[in-house]
Amino acid sequence: MSDNPHEMKRLKTGAFERRLSLAKAGFVAGTRFAAGAAGSMFASPEQREEKRRRALAEQAQYLVRELGKLKGSVVKIGQMMALYGEHFLPDEITRALHQLNDDTTALAWSSLEPVIRAQLGEKRFAELDIDREPLGTASLAQVHRARRKSDGTELVLKVQYPGVAQAIDADLNLVTQLLKFSKAVPQTREFEEWLDEVRMMMHREVNYPQEMETTRLFHSYLKDDPRYIVPRILPEYCTNTVLCMTYERGVPINSPIVLKLPQERRNRIAEAALDICCREVFQWGEIQTDPNFGNYLVRLAEKEGDLDRIILLDFGAVRDFPDDLLALARRLTRTAFYRDREGMKAAMYGFSFFDNMPDSTKESIVDLFLLAIEPFSDLSDAPPETLNADGMYCWARSKLHLRATAAAAKSATSRHFAIPPKELMFLSRKLMGAYTFMTVIDAQIYARKILEPYLQAEKQS
């Protein structure tokens, strides 16, 4: 592996190196943007705006290409900004940032082996036979399969890249400076609070002791439910930058083999996935906020009568929510479920993002929540094209995730719209991720029966 020309020998994690690289990118982008603005000086206002947006899109693409070259936390920061920044960043920038991905070049084994050896110690390191070829690479870490020599237990080691944790704050500051260059990001208290939240999420992503405990927590929640598999942590091989767990075989959710399963089997997978979402909100208060499909695999049943099981992976983005926001989410879900418009408005009363809206905008927000709850309704008002011959809700046919996204975007353009609490934004992303999951596997189910027991239990408590 060390002779592979496509491997990196090291990451640019030094503050000076990264600052220099981003400064050069900012200078080039700034020069191009200024030149474009000068060239439209004598154009009409409409033409100037069109040229400004086109120039911004071009420079956003350039900056994203430069960010992608640095790897490490810069890539993850860009991904988080794209995922949660639609209320703060121009469309041109979020579209460009969405192109950042985790398909990063692997760090050479010759550079990674000393890191693992130093973290585990010679005795523990010698107990493992570690595959030099990574099972997967990402912006903050890469994963290697391993086998414990004493008993043959199959393991995976998630190894954090050297220096990425220490570079987070500097990288976030540098990326923010680049974005502010566009003069299209708001200089508001809400924007600064959102940046602080991105910073906190980034530090959570590299906090392996916390991820270890969260993985253990979800393992304890689901260990007796045959529909799910959560890897078992092996703490003796875990450190601040190495996370070790059992290797669990499975296939991606969106793989052809899953998508070609009979409808009934795909429906059972869908119901299990929705049930997890309900438990997170109504029972645990611990919510996986990363909607990435890579966080899930499916272990297909080996014989007739066995269950296809969902494998849950990567708990770095799990977070607990304040009681008042959980109460709001639960009450909004319950009142929307029963189509209680006044109850929905009462649930949001006392939150500034809602109180300051005129009545017409409040009604639009209520309509948006009622749209989001459509699959969980009694389906009497669902569009006819969303139902199959048996009266089941067809997620792919409904295009609900697209309709809800469009409705949310329309609400956000209102001059009366106020940015909701960041936690609600995370829940919204969680919901859209779940709906996309349902759409991809073409679930055709009656989801009301999944949610209703949680609402009844929550009402009685």
pLDDT tens digits, 17-26:
555 555 555 5
> Look-up: residue for tokens 């944790």?
165
Q: What is the CA radius of gyration of the chain?
A: 24
Residue 458 CA neighbour count, 13 Å, CB half: 23
User: Mean per-residue pLDDT for 267-272?
Assistant: 97
Strand 309-312 and strand 228-229: pairing? Answer: parallel
pLDDT digits (tens, 9 = 90+) for 203-246: 998 999 999 999 999 999 999 999 999 999 999 999 999 999 99
Measured on CA atoms in the order 65, 66, 72, 73, is the torsion positive or negative?
A: negative
pTM comes to 0.82
DSSP state at residue 40: T
Confidence of residue 419 (pLDDT cuts 50, 70, 90): low
Domain coordinates of the chain in residue numbers?
A: 15-99+166-199, 321-460
Phi, psi of 157 (to 5 degrees): -115, 120
Please give the pLDDT value at position 422.
65
Please give the pLDDT value at position 38.
47
Confidence of residue 353 (pLDDT cuts 50, 70, 90): confident
Q: How many CB atoms lie within 10 A of CB 78?
A: 27
Please give the pLDDT value at position 118.
96
Q: Calculate what percentage of the chain has a pLDDT beyond 90.
A: 44
State how far the alpha carbon of 146 is from the alpha carbons of 89, 118, 139, in Å.
Answer: 42, 17, 21
User: Mean per-residue pLDDT for 356-360?
Assistant: 82
Please give the pLDDT value at position 217.
95
Phi, psi of 238 (to 5 degrees): -105, 140
Please give the pLDDT value at position 3.
47
Distance CA 75, CA 67 (A): 7
Please give the pLDDT value at position 79.
75
User: Is 424:303 a contact under the CB 8 Å cutoff?
Assistant: no
User: Mean per-residue pLDDT for 265-282?
Assistant: 95
Confidence of residue 401 (pLDDT cuts 50, 70, 90): confident
Using N-to-C axis directions, what is the helix angle for 189-205 and 164-181, rounded to 10°? 150
Confidence of residue 45 (pLDDT cuts 50, 70, 90): low
Nearest to 308 by CA among 254, 252, 263, 269: 269
